[in-house]
Amino acid sequence: MKKVGIIVGSLRKESINRKLAEVFIKIGHSKLDFSFIDIHNIPLFSEDLENTSLPAIDVFRQKISESDLILLMTPEYNRSISGVLKNALDWASRPYGKSCLVGKEAAIAGASIGSSGTLPAQVHLRSILPVLGMKQIQHSEVGIVWNETFLNNNGLPNDERTIQFIQKFLEQLAQ
């Protein structure tokens, strides 16, 4: 069983990226065990604090360390990733030489009400992952154009092709 830690790059209560992550969990895969890695209490990164034991950072790093794969759910802000996601990745990568991200498998997904489905943000995030020492699973990105009718009453996508697409994505993660 592969442990998948999900980091949602949005702090919004009604985050569509969190909802998309919940869709992935609901669809599921027999070889994947999902858990959320919360970033709500992570302070702004400062080199002045990087060698200090901060409970929120300690828990965050521990959950990453316990995961086999990190699924990064990125919103798109100004054609890039959110500041809170970048901040979380900065904390996870420090102090220098003690990153909990090195060697971790990574996959990217995102949802947006815009027509690009977060793909510009995902391109930016893909350029950051190698610097962090993460190994992105090939062809492992999902960009969803979200609207108010995306989910049915069961919390699943209304479109069967979208469900099949997500199933293929989860199959890639399970390899």
- For tokens 């790059």, name the residue: 9
Q: Token pair for residue 87?
A: 């901040």
Nearest Cα residue to 141 out of 128, 115, 122, 157: 122
**pTM assigned to the model:** 0.96
- Does 55 have pLDDT greater than 90? yes
Domains and their CATH numbers in the chain: 2-174 (3.40.50.360)
Cα distances (Å, whole numbers) of residue 86 to 14, 38, 80, 133: 20, 14, 10, 15
In tens, the pLDDT along 135-174 reads 999 877 899 999 999 999 999 999 999 999 999 999 999 9
Mean pLDDT over each residue of the chain, to the nearest integer: 95
Tens of pLDDT, residue by residue over 88-135, are 999 999 999 999 999 999 999 999 998 888 999 999 999 999 999 999
Q: What is the CA radius of gyration of the chain?
A: 16
